[in-house]
Amino acid sequence: MDGDANDFKLLLASARHEAASLREDPRLGVPPGNRGAALREHVLDLLGAVEHRMSQEPPASAAQAARSAFARSMRQSIVMLRGAQAALPWLTATRSPTINMGSLYLTEECARILVGQEIDLVMVPNPEFMYTTTSEPFAEVINSTPGFVPTASRRPIVLNYPLTDGDRLLMHPIFAHEIGHASCDEYSLVDQVEKVFRDDATFTTAFEQAITTMASTWTASPPPTIAGTIRGLLRQWIEELLCDHLAIETIGPAFIWAFVTFALPLGYAEPAPSHPPNTLRLRLALDHLERGKWQEYMKGFAPTVMAWLRGIGDDADSIPLAQPFSFLHEQLKRHAVTIGDTAASRTAHAVLERTDVESDANEAAELIQHLILPVGLDTPLKPRSILLGGWQEAFRRHGDTPEGIVAALSDTRLQDLIGKAIELSVVAETWSTP
């Protein structure tokens, strides 16, 4: 029977075995530097939390229900320990980074802006062709262990990027979107947006209508369950849009060009449970850039591409979606400014303003055009300005066309120059800081 003496013996031995195999793995050893140290502590906290639970074994005289509950909690813990093996290759990646150093510095700057100073950024090449992230992946289990006190003081953020993209600097503004997920977790940004829906009568009426419509499709589920599912979808879409806006606030229009190059070949107006359609994402992103007064800058060297993207954004109004996606789509369009404002208030201390960076971006673009390392003629250029200047030069070299922005991704000389300039800019800035 589950929870009997033999079951306990098996479960405790198995949990000890799984914990030991992680703890004794050389990849969980102390890393040579600071990078990966917080991720390691986070894994060790998970082991500590499980070991704390193991010590709470109920006595033989305990009721069967209590013994079964303890047995289940051990099984949950073992599942979690087995899942934690995924973190070992991440720790290896910190010892032999393959990401461009300039990109790493720039991404760390984005992480400090979006999440805070106490972060541990771990960049991992991904065998699957996708940019993904996870942040404090075991936190919920650690924090839900009564009586256990974790030791990790910094937030580990793991960013996965496609194996082939380590040096594709022009794509790396996508990292700012990925770090946005950690920012959403750290500051409960999705909850902040959802609060606005609470007092919106139009939203409530539309929500009731969507539940009624879906009841004819999801016939096995009662209205509260249907409502919970739609609510879950809404939260995922809010988070993705927030991450887009956080990326724009942090890295400016470079995000849009990277996003289009990566995401548009994968989908156009198709909604997914985890992501809004690209038409809606582009529409809201372009509107947000215009509110930030970026449109003249973008049109200055990419009028054709920007007109094409605006057309795609306009399709958010013309391509109909089925329920419940049409409900999500309409409500998020209605509350686009709320999403933008939530992102803007998070980044207010370090937002990328066009007026602050345009002349530096132009300087960087001109230097790159002459194959001069664009570190800066008088003072070091800021990394974010160098990246923008790099995109300007990408348009000049490869054309203001859809195929031009794709061709730019193959320009390794251009991207090497951008990466090296960012790296040296950070080094120069660090040296000059007392």
* Closer residue to other proteins (CB): 225 or 359: 225
CA distance 150 to 383: 35
Taking CB under 8 A as the criterion, which residues in 136-155 touch other proteins? 137-141, 143-147
Q: How many residues bind other proteins (CB under 8 A)?
A: 85
**Options 150, 271, 380, 419; binder of other proteins; rule CB under 8 A:** 271
CA distance 307 to 161: 29
Cα-based distances in Å from 270 to 31, 71, 155, 315: 43, 44, 34, 12
- Rg, the chain, Cα only: 24
Among the listed ranges 10-18, 77-85, 93-101, 364-372, the one in contact with other proteins (CB under 8 A) is 77-85
Place of tokens 């992102």: 343
* Amino acid letter for position 116: G
Among the listed ranges 20-28, 134-142, 248-256, 419-427, the one in contact with other proteins (CB under 8 A) is 134-142
Quote the tokens at residue 356: 């602050």
Taking CB under 8 A as the criterion, which residues in 85-114 touch other proteins? 86-87
Taking CB under 8 A as the criterion, which residues in 273-292 touch other proteins? 273-275
Taking CB under 8 A as the criterion, which residues in 291-320 touch other proteins? 319-320
Q: Nearest distance from residue 146's CB to other proteins, in Å?
A: 6
Q: Nearest distance from residue 283's CB to other proteins, in Å?
A: 16
Range 276-280 contact pairs with CB under 8 angstroms and sequence separation of 24 or more: 276/237, 276/240, 276/241, 276/328, 276/329, 276/332, 277/316, 277/319, 277/321, 277/325, 277/329, 278/312, 279/312, 279/313, 279/315, 279/316, 279/319, 280/241, 280/316, 280/329, 280/332, 280/333
**Options 1, 5, 79, 149; binder of other proteins; rule CB under 8 A:** 79
Taking CB under 8 A as the criterion, which residues in 222-261 touch other proteins? 222-229, 231-232, 235, 240
> Under a CB-based contact definition with an 8 Å cutoff, are residues 31 and 40 in contact?
yes
- Does residue 53 belong to the site contacting other proteins (CB under 8 A)? yes
- Does residue 31 belong to the site contacting other proteins (CB under 8 A)? no
> Under a CB-based contact definition with an 8 Å cutoff, are residues 291 and 340 in contact?
yes
Place of tokens 């991440």: 90
* Closer residue to other proteins (CB): 62 or 350: 62
Among the listed ranges 11-19, 55-63, 95-103, 283-291, the one in contact with other proteins (CB under 8 A) is 55-63
Taking CB under 8 A as the criterion, which residues in 182-221 touch other proteins? 188, 190-191, 194, 197-198, 204, 207-208, 211, 217-218, 220-221
**Options 100, 134, 250, 385; binder of other proteins; rule CB under 8 A:** 134
Report the alpha-carbon angle 359-114-108, nearest 5: 75
Q: Nearest distance from residue 188's CB to other proteins, in Å?
A: 7
Q: Nearest distance from residue 278's CB to other proteins, in Å?
A: 13
Q: Nearest distance from residue 161's CB to other proteins, in Å?
A: 12
Give Cβ neighbours of residue 185 (< 8 Å, ≥ 6 apart): 135, 136
* Closer residue to other proteins (CB): 101 or 139: 139
Give Cβ neighbours of residue 147 (< 8 Å, ≥ 6 apart): 52
* Closer residue to other proteins (CB): 158 or 375: 158
- Does residue 14 belong to the site contacting other proteins (CB under 8 A)? no
Q: Nearest distance from residue 46's CB to other proteins, in Å?
A: 9
Among the listed ranges 54-62, 92-100, 111-119, 365-373, the one in contact with other proteins (CB under 8 A) is 54-62
Closest CA to 55 of 152, 148, 142: 148
Taking CB under 8 A as the criterion, which residues in 361-420 touch other proteins? none
What DSSP string runs through 94-116?
HHS--S-HHHHHHHHHHHHHHT-
